[in-house]
């Protein structure tokens, strides 16, 4: 089985590693779409702390990741799934139900998020350190 997952993976943390490892365990090949800086800006009106080049390098360096590409639009999921011949799309359950329309193309699996850690929370903690 070929797996695909997507994310920004800004300030890479244990929640990111957990979902990537669990996604890889569902098959034999894992492709990760890393959201572009521009896509993040359009969604959140701010750029990630780490740029897309560095975020892609970090994800690509993981032993459980076989392939990485830049995700430039949320609307292109179906094209990315076909281009990478993915059998299963894995997303965290903060996206529960959001990608069910892709079920004719591949299996869609939502895995539970790792509790008590997020990029937003890390940014807030670092900001508070004076």
Cα dist from 4 to 7, 65, 98, whole Å: 11, 10, 15
Q: Which is nearer to ligand C2G, 117 or 123 (CB)?
A: 117
**In angstroms, what is the minimal distance from the CB of 98 to ligand C2G?**
9
118 vs 102: CA distance, rounded Å: 26
Cα dist from 104 to 60, 87, 99, whole Å: 29, 11, 11
> Which residue, 113, 36, 122, is CA-closest to 73?
36
Residue nearest to ligand C2G (CB): 92
**In angstroms, what is the minimal distance from the CB of 13 to ligand C2G?**
7
**In angstroms, what is the minimal distance from the CB of 92 to ligand C2G?**
2
Q: Which residues bind ligand C2G (CB under 6 A)?
A: 6-10, 15-16, 19, 35, 71, 74, 91-92, 94, 113-114, 117-118
Q: Which is nearer to ligand C2G, 2 or 50 (CB)?
A: 50
**In angstroms, what is the minimal distance from the CB of 130 to ligand C2G?**
26
7 vs 19: CA distance, rounded Å: 10
């Amino acid at each position: 089985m070929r797996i695909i997952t997507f994310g920004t993976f800004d300030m890479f943390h244990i929640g990111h590693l957990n979902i990537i490892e669990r996604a890889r365990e569902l098959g034999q090949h894992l492709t990760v779409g890393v959201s572009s800086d521009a896509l993040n800006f359009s969604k959140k009106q701010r750029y990630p702390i780490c740029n897309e080049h560095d975020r892609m390098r970090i994800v690509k360096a993981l032993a459980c990741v076989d392939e990485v590409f830049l995700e430039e639009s949320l609307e292109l999921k179906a094209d990315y799934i076909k281009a990478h011949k993915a059998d299963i799309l894995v997303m965290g359950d903060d996206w529960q139900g959001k990608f069910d329309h892709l079920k004719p193309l591949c299996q869609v699996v939502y895995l539970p998020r790792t509790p008590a850690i997020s990029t937003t929370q890390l940014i807030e903690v670092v900001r508070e350190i004076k």
